[in-house]
Amino acid sequence: MRLEPVANPGLLRRLGLPAAALVATVVTGSLLALSAGADPLATLGLIVTGAVGSKFAALETLNRATPLIFTGLAVAVAFRAKLWNIGAEAQLYAGALVTAVLGAHPIVTGVPGVALIGLAAALAGALVLLGPVLLKTRLGVDEVVTTLLLNFVLLLVVSMLLEGVLKDPMGMGWPKSAPVAKSVRLPRLIEGLRLHWGFGLALIAAGLVWLMQARMRLGYEIRAVGLNRAAARFAGVPVGAVLVKTALISGGLAALAGYSEVAGLKGTLTLDLSPGFGYTGVIVAMLAALHPGGVVVAALFVAGVFVGSDAMSRAAGVPSYIADLLLASALLYMVLAMQLVRYRVVWR
Amino acid sequence: MTDLLDIFLSASFWVALVRIASPLIFATMGELICERAGVLNLGIEGIMVFGAFAGWLTVYLGGGLWLGVGVAMLAGMAFGLLHGVLTVPFGLSQHVVGLGITLLATAAAYFAYRLALPEVTSPPKITPFAPWPIPGLAAIPLIGEGFFAQTPLTYAGFAVAGLTALVLFRTPLGLALRAAGENPAAVEAQGLSVTALRIGAVAVGSGLMAVGGAFLTLSAFSSFFFEMVNGRGWICIALVVFGGWKPGKAVLGALLFAAFDAGQIRLQQTALGATLPYQVFLMAPYLLSILALVVMSRRASVPAALMVPFNKGER
């Protein structure tokens, strides 16, 4: 078999194949529920109601989606340039770390303080990714492995600091940081609802990334570098500089996930702050086909699957790891579907 | 300084060194075979997790240890087949599919573990492989015990590395495989199928990765617990680069890495170790891997068609 490009994929092809991927994911979920001895329809129903069935559930899903929008955007921006940033987890923790340090004893309070800490957090994440990217552009070191390995390093740094200088003396011996001062916490988006401004910032970030990709020179350059690095260089695009700028944006976005979790949702830094938000960002970005608007939708979907599966697991006893299985299969089905939109299989 | 010397001169250090290197050797050979054929396999981390689980479960359910190794290998090959089909004929991004396979295999292992043992809090143990001391050689002072009184799975690891080198560089199959990673069009011109060679390489390589994972449960820790692979797969990818895509050098890299790892564990218990947070020592292996990549990348001869999809008839 071989692949033949489809010149102008029709609407049926462009919508039908992703829809088929979604159906395949649902079928996979049903089989998994069956394997756990549960009723497939009831299980999937419980996941849906667990994700959006009540005001509490829906808010939980929105809260869970917030860091995923940031890490999804981080991955989407980088992957557009074929910069394989798989270190969003490390960048997230770098942002969280800076937020916890600056937030515990803020020098500037109020809105300027909130903004300053956010900027500092983003800068920290950007710097964490800058290292691997400079190694890539200057010395040709593959960024996949370096960014992956830095995830482990950063987690150990956080662990070290939480058991050392950052340990909250009032924390009853738990390794967590001193709480972020009230004056620099991200306020609630709507008074009375358990949803903080991190979600609003995530939506704004998605809008800005879209603006950058669609309307700015850098967006065009990033796409050119991603499509064909040699051709971009030949056309006069400063490839190295574009990759560095991409890295700074990507690392900064991932760090904001940590910032929003610490300054918004949790108010303190712990070692279990992120249950793999950085890695899940890859799923979010790919389900979104690297489109910033799609990232918001995909992050809500992924968050819903996680929140819903937790609730379902408590009620029906199917292990909550079904969520990870569903999302990993959704990812593979979706990338296959997207490829088949652009290429048809020719057997000969 | 004397602390360091004490560490190097203890037989237990050498035993730990070879034990730590063994799973890395299996998985590094697996990754090396994939990459030589032109496919980067980022599924390695998850495939190792699944191999660790599948091997453990087989033995836990009453199967023999070698059956456990076999089941792990077959499971790894199944994931490899999936990876190969998606990335080779369908030409999907090797990065994305690899990470997807890692997530899929990890989640599958955790899901199945919870299904098999819903209520268990402390992971149940199995009886692992016992050491097979080789008469005579095991009595060599200092390193004898380390290299010649290991479990059979360790010897198998070294044998696999030798076999990998032999097949890759001394057989027509190896030549075809390497050509698929260097110049696939030339392979196709010879009437061979790049698709078949690459899928085969990824399947076999993934099988070896899974055996590397199974080593952890069947020969090292004797139970399965979450996060037990802990980045070993990613380190193996670094070891392939460090070894310049050559099996012998990659094994050397694995031993070097293991020496460092075994050393840092022992250094933690010395006077120097007491002055530093233990996380500094745990960080060192990852930082060392990055450093090794930096040093070796400049001289590395990457397979020319690594990560380049091959579509028949396309120029």
Q: Which of the residue ranges A12-16, A52-56, A70-74, B311-315 has the most confident prediction, judged by mean pLDDT?
A: A70-74
Count of CB atoms situated within 10 Å of the CB of A120: 17
Question: Is the predicted ipTM greater than 0.90, yes or no?
Answer: yes
* Contact criterion met (CB < 8 Å) for B293 and A145: yes
Domain at B2-118+150-297: CATH code: 1.10.3470
* Contact criterion met (CB < 8 Å) for B286 and A279: no
* pLDDT one-digit tens code per residue, A179-223: 999 999 998 888 878 899 999 999 999 999 999 999 999 999 999
Q: What is the pLDDT of residue B315?
A: 47
Tokens of A244: 């560095």
- How close B148 comes to chain A (CA, Å)? 32
Count chain A–chain B contacts defined by CB atoms under 8 A: 131
Q: What is the mean pLDDT of chain A?
A: 93
Q: What is the pLDDT of residue A173?
A: 75
Confidence of residue B269 (pLDDT cuts 50, 70, 90): confident
Nearest neighbour of B107 by CB, restricted to A35, A144, A324: A324
Report A:275-294 residues touching B (Cβ under 8 A).
279, 282-283, 286
Quote the percentage of chain A above a pLDDT of 90: 81
Taking contacts as CB-CB distances below 8 angstroms, the residues of chain A near B110 are 319, 321, 324
Handedness of CA B264, B265, B268, B272 (dihedral sign): negative
Instruction: Name the residue in chain A with its Cα closest to that of B298.
Output: A139
* pLDDT one-digit tens code per residue, B284-295: 889 988 998 888
Taking contacts as CB-CB distances below 8 angstroms, the residues of chain A near B289 are 145, 149
Give the CA diameter of chain B. 65
* pLDDT one-digit tens code per residue, B37-75: 999 999 999 999 999 999 999 999 999 999 999 999 999
H or E segment and range at residue A343: strand A343-346
Q: Mean pLDDT over residues A80-84, rounded?
A: 95
HSE-CB at B30 with a 13 A cutoff on CA atoms is 36
| Residue A138 Cα to chain centre, angstroms | 27
Q: Any idea where the domains of chain B sit in the sequence? A: 2-118+150-297
Taking contacts as CB-CB distances below 8 angstroms, the residues of chain A near B86 are 332, 335-336
- Domain coverage including residue A76: 65-289
In a domain, A9, yes or no: no
Q: What is the pLDDT of residue B303?
A: 87
Taking contacts as CB-CB distances below 8 angstroms, the residues of chain A near B283 are 152-153, 156-157
- How close A291 comes to chain B (CA, Å)? 16
Confidence of residue B274 (pLDDT cuts 50, 70, 90): confident
Q: What is the pLDDT of residue B313?
A: 63
Handedness of CA B215, B220, B224, B227 (dihedral sign): negative
* Contact criterion met (CB < 8 Å) for B99 and A279: yes
* Contact criterion met (CB < 8 Å) for B234 and A145: yes
Tell which wins on pLDDT, A25 or B306.
A25
Cα(A266)–Cα(B11) distance, rounded to whole angstroms?
A: 48
In a domain, A179, yes or no: yes
Nearest neighbour of A153 by CB, restricted to B106, B283, B294: B283
- How close B107 comes to chain A (CA, Å)? 5
* pLDDT one-digit tens code per residue, A111-138: 999 999 999 999 999 999 999 999 999 9
In a domain, A345, yes or no: no
* Contact criterion met (CB < 8 Å) for B294 and A141: yes
- How close A145 comes to chain B (CA, Å)? 6
In a domain, A93, yes or no: yes
In a domain, A156, yes or no: yes
Taking contacts as CB-CB distances below 8 angstroms, the residues of chain A near B42 are 144
Number of domains in chain A: 1
Tell which wins on pLDDT, A229 or B69.
B69
In a domain, A125, yes or no: yes
Q: Mean pLDDT over residues B157-184, rounded?
A: 96
Q: Between A55-80 and A277-287, two packed helices, what is the crossing angle to 10 degrees? A: 80
In a domain, A211, yes or no: yes
Count of CB atoms situated within 10 Å of the CB of B314: 12
* Contact criterion met (CB < 8 Å) for B106 and A324: yes
